[in-house]
Structure 1
Amino acid sequence: MQPGPVTATAITMGARNRYAGSLMAVGHGVIEFPLMVVIILGLGKYFKLAKVQVAIGLAGGVFLILMGAQAFLSLRAKADAEPRALEAKPILAGIVLSVGNPYFLIWWATVGLALATQATKWGIWAFGLFALAHWSVDLVWLQILSWASFKGSVLLGPNGQRIVVVVCSAAMFLFGLFFIYNAANILFKQF
């Protein structure tokens, strides 16, 4: 899994919930497993359409900016307060970050399609094994990130944790701006 919005969110949520990465992977899988099947059935080409890329980029960008702002604003809460909206929904974050990431969908329409197609040549069982192995890597990686963030926040203390949240909030905000910028570029190329 490439560093990006899911990575930044796993680190941010992991600072307070050591299992956030696993829960985010469940949400990611809710989108990824059906997406694999849809792409194998031939619908992956639609993710390459400019209109689809613009819609996903704009929605994903806005969501990331809001998540980054929410994480940053959670720093205003008392140190012992639980910022419920941020950490209470890692499964939902995994779902929305997957759907709202145009690069995730483009990857599956290109590289992922090639890998999944190769797996289907050996039968449906090979495709199922490929899908499970691919998701398991996501699960392990996200859990490592959230666990390390949780342990790191204990070691770093409140000030260190605040720095991690600021950095991850800024990363989410910047990824959001990047998604919106790319969506606008695609849109303006149409005219």
Structure 2
Amino acid sequence: MRIMIELIKPLVLGFTIGISAALVPGPMMLATVGISLEKGWRSGPFVFIGHSIVELTLILLIIGGISSLIGSSTITYMSIIGGIIMILFGLLILKSAKDISTMDIAGAARNTRIAKSPFLAGILTSVLNPTYVLWWLTAGSAIILQEYLVGTIAIVAFMAGHWIADFGYLLTVSLSTAKGKDFISRRNHKKVLYFCGILMMIFGIFFIFNYNNISTLI
């Protein structure tokens, strides 16, 4: 029973962070909309595959360096820095929610020509996004470090939740775009972003003050 709880926690955390990041109109979302307008709903899954390959590479690099960094002081510093970054990202999400009502997503997507291949677009919109890279170097690394202390299976659970959110959202975006519909109304998009931004900030606060035990997050 305890093992199940320990796995559900990173799964929920991964899903929450994944959907929070996905909902913010950024290069990957715009590329997905733009390519889906031309190539149909299958674009979303291929964008996800490219994106997940980059994330898997980053996670393996993080785990590979953990053995030489592990220690109580490392956990403290990484968790505090990660928590601060999560709070800042929460504020960024709140700002995005405020701007979403006036944003021309379809117009911006048509002008986003990162790559013709959705697979390549998933890679490029991840690698060339400084915000994305900063996230994994700070907050993302702190989360992986915390889950590493629980066990490799906890990292797998976290990434499963994260990728379920990414895949589900990108598939929804590509399906809706291909059918000429809004994947989410502006009003609901704004509400969900506000919720995610506040939740992200709460996670950041808990990371700062409860760095010794990731289980206190949820």
Fold similarity call, TM over 0.5: yes
In the other structure, the counterpart of 2:133 is: 95
Q: Report the identity percentage.
A: 6
Q: CA deviation at 1:63?
A: 2.3
Q: CA deviation at 1:152?
A: 3.9
Q: Distance in 1 between matches of 2:47 and 2:202?
A: 25
1:114-158 alpha-carbon deviations (Å, 9 max, x no partner): 789xxxxxxxxxxxxxx9xx9799667633431123324666933
Structure 1 unaligned spans of 5+:
117-130
In the other structure, the counterpart of 1:109 is: 149
Classify 1:135/1:49 alpha carbon distance in 2 versus 1 (closer, same or farther; 3 Å).
closer
1:148-185 alpha-carbon deviations (Å, 9 max, x no partner): 23324666933834245324422431233113322453
> Is residue 2:64 matched to residue 1:37?
yes
Classify 1:37/1:161 alpha carbon distance in 2 versus 1 (closer, same or farther; 3 Å).
same
Q: Distance in 1 between matches of 2:162 and 2:151?
A: 16
Q: Distance in 2 between matches of 1:182 and 1:11?
A: 22
Q: TM-score, normalised on structure 2?
A: 0.55
* RMSD, aligned CA: 4.1
Structure 2 unaligned spans of 5+:
1-10, 33-43, 113-121, 212-218
Q: CA deviation at 1:47?
A: 7.7
In the other structure, the counterpart of 2:96 is: 70
In the other structure, the counterpart of 2:200 is: 176
Task: Write out aligned runs for 1:21-60 (5 A).
Answer: 21-39=48-66, 41-45=67-71, 49-60=75-86
Q: For residue 34 of structure 1, what is the amino acid of its counterpart?
A: L
Secondary structure at the counterpart of residue 95 of structure 1: helix
> Is residue 2:189 matched to residue 1:165?
yes
Classify 1:97/1:77 alpha carbon distance in 2 versus 1 (closer, same or farther; 3 Å).
same
Q: Distance in 2 between matches of 1:81 and 1:108?
A: 42
In the other structure, the counterpart of 1:121 is: none
Q: Distance in 2 between matches of 1:73 and 1:7?
A: 18
Secondary structure at the counterpart of residue 71 of structure 2: helix
Secondary structure at the counterpart of residue 100 of structure 1: helix
Residues 54 and 126 of structure 2 are in contact (CA less than 8 Å); yes or no, is this contact kept in structure 1? yes
1:68-111 alpha-carbon deviations (Å, 9 max, x no partner): 42354133123542177xx9944435534434244333113332
Secondary structure at the counterpart of residue 15 of structure 2: coil
Q: For residue 64 of structure 2, what is the amino acid of its counterpart?
A: V
1:42-83 alpha-carbon deviations (Å, 9 max, x no partner): 433358632321111102220232144235413312354217
Residues 101 and 186 of structure 2 are in contact (CA less than 8 Å); yes or no, is this contact kept in structure 1? yes
In the other structure, the counterpart of 1:4 is: 16
Q: CA deviation at 1:37?
A: 1.3
Residues 23 and 94 of structure 1 are in contact (CA less than 8 Å); yes or no, is this contact kept in structure 2? no
Q: For residue 178 of structure 1, what is the amino acid of its counterpart?
A: I
Classify 1:59/1:139 alpha carbon distance in 2 versus 1 (closer, same or farther; 3 Å).
closer
Q: TM-score, normalised on structure 1?
A: 0.61
Q: For residue 61 of structure 1, what is the amino acid of its counterpart?
A: I
Aligned residues: 167
